[in-house]
Structure 1
Amino acid sequence: MKPKQLVEKWVAVFNSGDAEALADFYHDDAVNHQVANEPINGKNAILKMFQDEFAQADMTCIVENIFEDGEWGILEWKDPLGLRGCGFFHVIDGKIKLQRGYWDKLSFLKQHNLPIE
């Protein structure tokens, strides 16, 4: 699967809130680094991250653009509350090896009435 196709499918699964199906997109030794947080290492830890996040907040990813450059899928997104961000997905052999995301954590916490760290 090409990176752009993978990101399109990833978004659909993300929006369904299915953490286990989402974790299946990752290599066993993948890294997910949402730069507002510490990097998450390994598929099992990524699964737990998504389970925790889906339990905390109702999240929806609205695609603005998806680009592809070689082994990379690039997602520009927004959510219904106005938060915007982008994600970079390094796809090797049809699975995500590295994901890096950029978004405003403070705005996210305020929008979802979550405690500010």
Structure 2
Amino acid sequence: MTPKKLIEQWVDKFNSGSAETMASFYHDDAINHQVNNEPVIGKEAIFEMFKREFSQAEMVCIIENIFEDGEWAILEWKDPLGLRGCGFFHIVDNKIKFQRGYWDKLSFLRIHNLPIPTH
């Protein structure tokens, strides 16, 4: 499967909100680093991250572009509430080995009426 096809499937399952399904896309020792947060290391920790995040907010990812370069896919996305971002995915053996995401955390918290850290 190409990295682009894998990310298309990832987005489809992301929109279903299943943390267990999302975790299945990752290697056991994968790293998910949303640059607004500390890196999340390992499939189990990634599962817990998705579980927590899906319980906090209803998130929807709309694909604007997916670019592919060898083992890498780059996802440019938006959501129906006006948030935009991008993600870089290193795909090895049809699973995500490394992911890095860029988006505006303050806008996300405001849009979803979540607490804004004061520190």
* Shorter-chain TM-score tier: over 0.9
Q: Which runs of 5+ in 2 are unaligned?
A: none
What residue in structure 1 maps to residue 108 of structure 2?
108
Report the alpha carbon displacement of residue 103 of structure 1 after superposing the two structures with TM.
0.1
Size of the aligned set, in residue pairs, is 117
Instruction: Give 1:2 shift.
Output: 1.0
Structure 2 counterpart of 1:33, which letter?
H
Over 4 Å off, 4+ runs: none
Match of 1:29 in 2: 29
State the match for 1:19 in structure 2.
Answer: 19
CA distance in 1, matches of 2:91, 2:108: 27
Identity of aligned pairs, percent? 74
User: Which residue does the alignment assign to 2:46?
Assistant: 46
Unaligned runs of at least 5 residues, structure 1: none
Please, what TM-score do these two structures have when normalized by structure 1?
Answer: 0.99
Q: CA deviation at 1:113?
A: 0.4
Instruction: Give the superposed CA RMSD.
Output: 0.4
- Letter of the 1:66 partner, please give it: I
Partner Cα separation in structure 1 for residue 84 and residue 40 of structure 2: 21
CA distance in 1, matches of 2:7, 2:73: 6
The CA deviation at 1:20 is: 0.3
User: 2:26 & 2:90 partners in 1: Cα distance?
Assistant: 10
TM-score, scaled relative to structure 2:
0.98
